[in-house]
Amino acid sequence: MPKIKIYIEIEDETMEDVIDVLKKQPTLLKETRTSICKDIFEDILENIYNTYKTVQKTEKSSPCDPSDISLSHFIEKNNCPVHRILLHQQKSTGLKYELTHLKVHQQFVGNLCGYYAMFYIKESIKMIKSQDPSEYFNLLNPAQFWLFHFRATKFLQKYAQDMKFDQTKYPWTPKDLQFGDLERAFVDPLLYRFPEMRNVVESTSSMDIKIFNYQFQFKRFTNSYIQLQAMQTHIDKVRLSKEKNKHYLTFFMLGVTNHWAMFCAHKFNDRLEFWFMDSRNRDYLLWSQTDAEKFYNEESERRKKDGRKELNSFQIWVNTNNVLDFQISLKLLVGCFLGNTTLYQYSAESGYEIIRKEFTDGLVMHGLEYPKSLKEFQQKLAQLHNESYQTLFQHLKQFVSAYGQSIYELITIPEKFKHLSDPTIEDLRLLIAVAKAIATDKRNVVPNNLMSWFKANVLSLKF
């Protein structure tokens, strides 16, 4: 990478003059320079200027021990802007708790969201560990972010060499590491081996610090059961703790659909705060699906006008689901810390919802609504012409092939079944009864190994 030196003569110029000179440097205006590089550099210069204009030096206060200083103190002290505050009610007590969606430094480079999320975690822990509200909070400081990103990618390059990974293949090539996404494989090395993070995330006698890699897409977890168990065990530990004058800081690297963000739960004595930071800086936590689709369709039009590539229908669909998945994830995590639900329950319930949706869609293709009772369905099934029934039966075989084993496990594995709510269990009984009605209809006369397995292992289950 070429090095560029800029020489500026400063006599009695003001900071405004210096910034103006820097922005007019020819090196920034060459056509060979990418717009991203100009955006990054100008972003840093703008921050230098704003800091110069607004930050006043304050005398640091001495840390207190024990102290109950939380993120809210630093946010108030540094005038950090807020997108929105949402209230969540604890079912057992009726008490309400705040989830604060903070504004942070705006992401300009499209694929660096993971590094932003980790940067927010680092800075948040540093602030709370300092227990000094006069510390400067770097959430809006691009210079500090780019320094962090530079050091993190340099570390990953050395880590790849030390671990003898194949650096000719993604994601471990030097180019991928320097300019690419923060991949899931990078999270643990950065958290627990990268010195800049490792030294920050260590717990102390007065602070219990935990960071989890949370993975979620299209309304369901992609974490393993063991990972969910580790998260839920820690959440329960924090929720039930009565220990006084101890900070419980729980962070989640939220890998949701196609984007990274950060969620933090901070408990100290009887106080419990929730924070959400997303480098896109969009106030979307109350958006409906229609709102999200409208936004991304308009974004596609903006791209077209700017001469950039439009979003296709698949990208709009994925981004819309990303908005909904973040809303689900935040409500779920807050609910877990308040004791309203568990990750296990959501995992089991969402698994069933996917099964039910696929079954419902198959019925709709044949003009059949999901029934309220078995008797209602049997009447409609009897009215189907033989050809329509055969087509419906073929769809049932496809459904069984895709979800038969999942239904069996949902019922027979205690770790899954015990987390289903009573209404879900009743609906599951109805689904199996409807499937049984299709499978055992007198028009089904052709032997089929798949359906024989389904009848023996699923339709015969008693629960």
- Beta strands 247-256 and 259-268: pairing type? antiparallel
For the segment 174-187, the average pLDDT, to the nearest whole number, is 93
Better-scored residue on pLDDT, 79 or 28: 79
Q: What residues form DSSP beta bridges with 97?
A: 88
pLDDT at 47: 57
pLDDT in tens, 36-63: 555 555 555 555 545 544 443 333 444 4
276 and 424 fall within a common domain: no
Residue 442 lies in a domain: yes
For the segment 196-202, the average pLDDT, to the nearest whole number, is 92
233 and 374 fall within a common domain: no
174 and 281 fall within a common domain: yes
Q: Where are the alpha helices (DSSP H) in 365-461?
A: 374-382, 386-412, 414-417, 422-439, 449-454
pLDDT at 138: 84
31 and 81 fall within a common domain: no
For the segment 119-142, the average pLDDT, to the nearest whole number, is 88
pLDDT at 19: 52
Q: What is the mean pLDDT of the chain?
A: 87
pLDDT at 70: 86
Token pair 């393993």 is at which residue?
A: 224
Q: Is the Cα torsion angle 443, 447, 453, 455 positive or negative in sign?
A: positive
- Which distant-in-sequence residues (6+ apart) come within 8 Å of 399 by Cβ? 358, 359, 362, 435
Q: By the 8 A CB rule, do 137 and 105 touch?
A: no
Gap between the Cα atoms of 196 and 213, Å rounded? 18
Percent of the chain with pLDDT over 70: 86
pLDDT at 447: 82
197 and 317 fall within a common domain: yes
440 and 363 fall within a common domain: yes
pLDDT at 62: 41
Residue 450 lies in a domain: yes
| Rounded alpha-carbon distances, angstroms, from residue 314 to 60, 290, 300, 319, 321 | 52, 16, 12, 9, 11
Least Cα distance to 229 among 345, 348, 343 occurs for 343
Total residue length of the chain:
463
Percent of the chain with pLDDT over 90: 74
Gap between the Cα atoms of 356 and 350, Å rounded? 10
For the segment 427-440, the average pLDDT, to the nearest whole number, is 96
Gap between the Cα atoms of 429 and 440, Å rounded? 16
Residue 62 lies in a domain: no
72 and 93 fall within a common domain: yes
pLDDT at 25: 55
Split into its structural domains, the chain has a count of 3
Domain end call among 318, 338, 358: 338
Q: Is the Cα torsion angle 123, 127, 133, 135 positive or negative in sign?
A: negative
Domain end call among 56, 76, 100: 56
Least Cα distance to 300 among 323, 320, 276, 271 occurs for 320
pLDDT at 139: 83
pLDDT at 33: 44
Token pair 């084993």 is at which residue?
A: 405
pLDDT band for position 74 (cuts 50, 70, 90): confident
Checking if the pLDDT of 140 tops 60, the result is yes
Checking if the pLDDT of 445 tops 90, the result is no
27 and 136 fall within a common domain: no
386 and 256 fall within a common domain: no
pLDDT at 438: 96
Q: Is the peptide bond before 171 cis (omega within 30 degrees of 0)?
A: yes
Residue 318 lies in a domain: yes
pLDDT at 50: 52
pLDDT at 429: 97
pLDDT band for position 76 (cuts 50, 70, 90): confident
Q: By the 8 A CB rule, do 211 and 253 touch?
A: yes
Question: Domain span at residue 119?
Answer: 67-338
Checking if the pLDDT of 383 tops 70, the result is yes
- Beta strand ranges found along 91-187 (DSSP E): 96-102
Q: By the 8 A CB rule, do 218 and 258 touch?
A: no
pLDDT at 100: 97
Q: Where are the alpha helices (DSSP H) in 8-141?
A: 15-23, 35-54, 71-77, 113-130
pLDDT band for position 137 (cuts 50, 70, 90): confident
75 and 180 fall within a common domain: yes
pLDDT at 21: 54
The number of helix segments (H) and strand segments (E) in the chain equals 17, 7
The one-character DSSP state at 373 is: S
For the segment 105-125, the average pLDDT, to the nearest whole number, is 92
pLDDT at 136: 79
pLDDT at 373: 96
Domain end call among 338, 361, 393: 338
